[in-house]
C-alpha cells in the first residue's frame, strides 16, 4: 500500500526514538496501533459498502436480462402455440379492466340499491 522498504522503516524508527524518546516510545506505539486499527476498520466498512452496491447493481442487471429472456421465450412459445392451435395465446398479465366495468354488477346479483327488508321489530309482531 505505502511501499515502504527496510531502509525507510529503519530511518523512521531512528527518528521516532530520537524525537519521542525511549521512555515514551511504548505509549506512542500503542497510540499509533489504535489509529491504524481505526483506519483499517473504516476502510473495511467502506469497502464492504461499495461491494454491496456493486452486487446490487449486478443483480438488477441480471434480473433485467432474465426478464427480457423470459419475455422472449414466452413470445416464441406463444407464437408456436398459436400456430399449432390457430387461437391467440395471452402471454402477458391480464388486461386491467375499466373502472366502469368493475362497477357493473354480475348477472343475477341484486343491485346495491336493492336491500332486503329489515326484520320486523318486536312492536309490530305483537299485533298492536
**Three cell numbers, residue 117:** 327488508
| Helix and strand numbers, DSSP H then E, in the chain | 4, 0
> Using one digit for the tens of pLDDT, what is the confidence trace for 56-94?
999 999 999 999 999 888 888 877 877 777 777 666 666
Say what the pLDDT of residue 82 is. 73
pTM assigned to the model: 0.42
Phi/psi-derived region of residue 7, left when phi > 0, alpha when psi is between -120 and 50, beta in every other case: alpha
- Residue 120: HSE in the Cβ half-sphere, 13 Å Cα cutoff: 7
Instruction: Answer yes or no: are the C-beta atoms of 89 and 82 closer than 8 Å.
Output: yes
Say what the pLDDT of residue 13 is. 85
**Three cell numbers, residue 123:** 312492536
Instruction: Answer yes or no: are the C-beta atoms of 91 and 74 closer than 8 Å.
Output: yes
Amino acid at each position: 500500500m505505502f511501499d515502504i522498504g527496510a531502509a525507510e522503516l529503519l530511518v523512521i524508527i531512528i527518528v521516532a526514538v530520537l524525537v519521542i524518546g525511549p521512555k515514551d516510545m511504548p505509549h506512542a506505539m500503542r497510540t499509533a496501533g489504535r489509529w491504524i486499527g481505526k483506519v483499517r476498520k473504516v476502510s473495511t466498512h467502506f469497502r464492504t459498502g461499495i461491494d454491496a452496491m456493486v452486487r446490487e447493481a449486478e443483480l438488477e442487471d441480471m434480473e433485467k436480462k432474465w426478464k427480457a429472456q423470459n419475455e422472449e421465450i414466452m413470445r416464441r412459445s406463444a407464437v408456436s402455440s398459436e400456430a399449432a392451435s390457430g387461437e391467440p395465446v395471452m402471454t402477458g398479465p391480464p388486461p386491467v379492466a375499466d373502472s366502469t366495468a368493475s362497477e357493473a354488477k354480475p348477472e343475477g346479483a341484486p343491485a346495491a340499491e336493492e336491500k332486503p327488508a329489515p326484520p320486523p321489530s318486536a312492536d309490530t309482531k305483537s299485533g298492536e
